[in-house]
Amino acid sequence: MRKKLIILFFPMLMFLVTIACSTNQDSKNLVSAKVVNVVDGDTLNVMISGKEETIRLLLVDTPETVHPTKPVQPFGLEASNYLKELLNGKDVQVEVGIGERDKYGRLLGYVYIDKQMVNKLLLQKGLARVAYVFEPNTKYIDEFNSIQKQAQQNKVGIWSIENYATDEGFQTTLNEEQNEINPNLQVNEECTIKGNINSKGEKIFHTEQSPSYELTKPEAMFCTEDEARAAGYRAVKR
């Protein structure tokens, strides 16, 4: 009797396991793909069922490296190179977003490699910010925001440059409203400390060791940090 029960139970168990696995796969709309090219930190080309598709990673944005009208932005190359090393030529799975495509015809989705979501990895490493949050593609937004908050606290990647990554995007200069250097600025080649007033009205100075030094368009130049502080400027946060 016991042997008969085991014989009857085992097929039923296998059937339930199969259903559970299928349900888990379907809930994520996972599609197998092979990466043929990484365009930049948040865009890649893949082969799906013999057809090449462009995928735009959902809910994340990385600094520009290939934009036709924007310069290469800080940490853009790091994000692009990280994705190339991680994904080029690799087999991945794609969780396709609701609605699937954006206005450019690109597939919207989350990419997985070795059971890790690439979107999350970029956020963890400070190579991307949470962005382009539009219903109904907000499935992981709470988790993404939590990961980003941790990266901000650790000041990794894009978060190591004060006022660089914002809700509106990445600032190409630390004072975008003033594209030209102050015409009244007196420049002394021996004085290299840059003073800048950010969009919040904060006076900040940047030394040549500051990660955002090259981005800064000065509104004042100082020879020493004490001189900058005397003028009401504080050191940039790192």
| Residues 195/203, Cβ–Cβ less than 8 Å | yes
Per DSSP bridges, beta strands 30-40 and 193-197 are unpaired
Give backbone dihedrals phi and psi of 106, rounded to 5 degrees, phi first: -80, 145
Alpha helices in 66-197 (DSSP H): 76-87, 118-124, 141-154
Catalytic-role residue among 53, 56, 78, 95 = 56
Going by their DSSP bridges, the two strands 51-57 and 107-113 should be labelled as: parallel
* Tokens representing residue 30 in the block: 């996972």
Nearest to 108 by CA among 186, 56, 53, 70: 56
The residue assigned the tokens 């990554």 is: 165
Largest pairwise CA distance in the chain: 98
234 as an active site residue: the answer is no
**CA-to-CA dists, residue 103 to 7, 52, 56, 59, 107, angstroms:** 55, 17, 11, 16, 10
Which of 78, 95, 106, 162 is catalytic? The answer is 106
The residue type at 50: G
Strands 234-235 and 203-206, sheet pairing: parallel
Q: Is 52 a catalytic residue?
A: no
Q: Looking at 53, 64, 95, 162, which residue is catalytic?
A: 64
2 is catalytic: no
Taking Cα atoms as reference points, which of 11, 33, 144, 139 lies closest to residue 94?
A: 33
Two structure tokens written together for 80: 């692009």
Q: What are phi and psi of 32, to 5 degrees?
A: -75, 140
The set of catalytic residues is 56, 64, 106
